[in-house]
Amino acid sequence: MANQDRPQIYLITPPELDLDTYPDQLAAVLDSTDIACLRIALATSDEDRILRAADAIRHTAHARDVAVVIERHVLLVERLGLDGVHLTDGARSIRKVRKDLPDAIIGAHCGTTRHEGMSAGENGADYVCFGPIGDTPLGDGSRAEFDLFEWWSEVIEVPVVAEGALTAELVAKFGPVTDFFAIGEEIWSKDDPAAALKTLLAPLG
**Long-range contacts, 22-26 (Cβ 8 Å, 24+):** 22/53, 22/56, 22/57, 23/56, 23/57, 23/59, 23/60, 25/188, 25/193, 26/57, 26/60, 26/61
20 in any annotated domain: yes
1 in any annotated domain: no
pLDDT in tens, 110-143: 999 999 999 999 999 999 999 999 988 777 778 9
Residue 57 has pLDDT above 80, yes or no: yes
Choice between 2 and 98, residue whose per-residue pLDDT is larger:
98
The percent of residues above 70 in pLDDT, for the chain, comes to 98
85 in any annotated domain: yes
180 in any annotated domain: yes
2 in any annotated domain: no
- pLDDT the model gives residue 121: 96
CB 55 within 8 A of CB 19: no
- pLDDT the model gives residue 4: 52
- pLDDT the model gives residue 85: 98
- pLDDT the model gives residue 39: 98
Burial-class residue 87 by CB neighbours within 10 Å (0-12, 13-18, 19+). buried
The percent of residues above 90 in pLDDT, for the chain, comes to 93
61 in any annotated domain: yes
Cα(128)–Cα(201) distance, integer angstroms: 21
3 in any annotated domain: no
| Domain CATH code at residue 137 | 3.20.20.70
Query: E strands along the chain, which residues?
Result: 8-12, 37-40, 67-71, 84-87, 105-109, 127-130, 160-163, 180-183
pTM for the full predicted model: 0.94
24 in any annotated domain: yes
Residue 199's domain comprises 8-204
pLDDT in tens, 145-185: 999 999 999 999 999 999 999 999 999 999 999 999 999 99
Domain count across the chain:
1
Instruction: Tell me what the mean pLDDT of segment 32-47 comes to.
Output: 96
